[in-house]
């Protein structure tokens, strides 16, 4: 693959510089002039590539955001397909396999994932984890209703408690990725945490 030159090279230098400084200082404390100085470009050159500092941040994290949403949609579809086929017992296995697949994939993009989830304060992504938790709240409530109907038994888990548990789970997976030492570490700890929560949900449902 040919090395970038001209415009493409400058673009890459800005992105590489921004990534390094964002990871070190976070978005809010990063200065645009510092990005330019570290990249060896003028501010004029910067503005030929990006509208502002947040545009650089967005270009760095957008592929990871899209990948997370794709993974989440895939897991959600598989889970609801299983429930519609009246196989609720498969849900825990699907959740486990999906969680491991997602965390391993994000671990392979660890630095960009860290930018998104830990260094994004001051950008439109600063509440990204909360967005995922809210999605999980909706889908957990829906899946519990489907399971309850199939078992002809009411599931009564308060919305606030459900939100707290979902937040704890998503935050735990985030920490596994950010603090992961190896792919095996990520697999093992995702398995432990997900199995713990799966058993907890089973206990709360009563079946």
141 vs 138: CA distance, rounded Å: 5
HSE-up of 15 (CA within 13 Å, CB side)? 13
Which tokens hold the place of 119?
């260094």
Predicted local confidence at residue 207, as pLDDT: 61
108 vs 113: CA distance, rounded Å: 9
Q: Are 83 and 91 in contact (CB under 8 A)?
A: yes
Which tokens hold the place of 129?
């984890």
**Which stretch of 6-10, 110-114, 159-163, 203-207 has the lowest confidence by average pLDDT?**
203-207
Query: Would you place residue 1 in the very low, low, confident or very high pLDDT band (cuts 50, 70, 90)?
Result: low
96 vs 79: CA distance, rounded Å: 11
29 vs 180: CA distance, rounded Å: 25
Mean pLDDT of the region 146-162: 83
Any idea what DSSP says for residue 157? -
**Which stretch of 4-8, 104-108, 128-132, 175-179 has the lowest confidence by average pLDDT?**
4-8
Q: Are 124 and 106 in contact (CB under 8 A)?
A: no
111 vs 153: CA distance, rounded Å: 45
* Coil, helix or strand at residue 158: coil
């Amino acid at each position: 693959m040919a090395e970038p030159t001209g415009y493409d090279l400058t673009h890459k230098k800005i992105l590489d510089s921004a990534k390094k400084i964002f990871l070190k200082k976070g978005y809010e404390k990063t200065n645009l002039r510092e990005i330019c100085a570290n990249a060896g470009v003028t501010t004029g050159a910067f503005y030929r590539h990006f509208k502002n500092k947040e545009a650089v941040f967005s270009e760095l994290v957008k592929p990871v955001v899209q990948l997370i949403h794709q993974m989440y949609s895939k897991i959600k579809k598989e889970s609801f397909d299983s429930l519609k086929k009246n196989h609720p017992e498969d849900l825990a296995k699907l959740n486990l396999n999906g969680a491991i697949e997602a965390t391993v994939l994000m671990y392979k993009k660890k630095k960009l994932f860290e930018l998104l989830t830990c260094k994004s304060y001051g950008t439109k992504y600063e509440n990204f984890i909360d967005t995922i938790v809210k999605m999980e709240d909706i889908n957990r409530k829906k899946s519990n209703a489907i399971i309850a109907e199939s078992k002809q038994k009411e599931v009564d888990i308060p919305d606030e408690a459900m939100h707290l548990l979902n937040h704890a789970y998503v935050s735990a997976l985030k920490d596994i990725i950010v603090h992961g030492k190896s792919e095996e570490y990520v697999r093992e700890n995702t398995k432990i945490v997900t199995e713990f929560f799966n058993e907890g949900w089973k206990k709360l449902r009563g079946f």
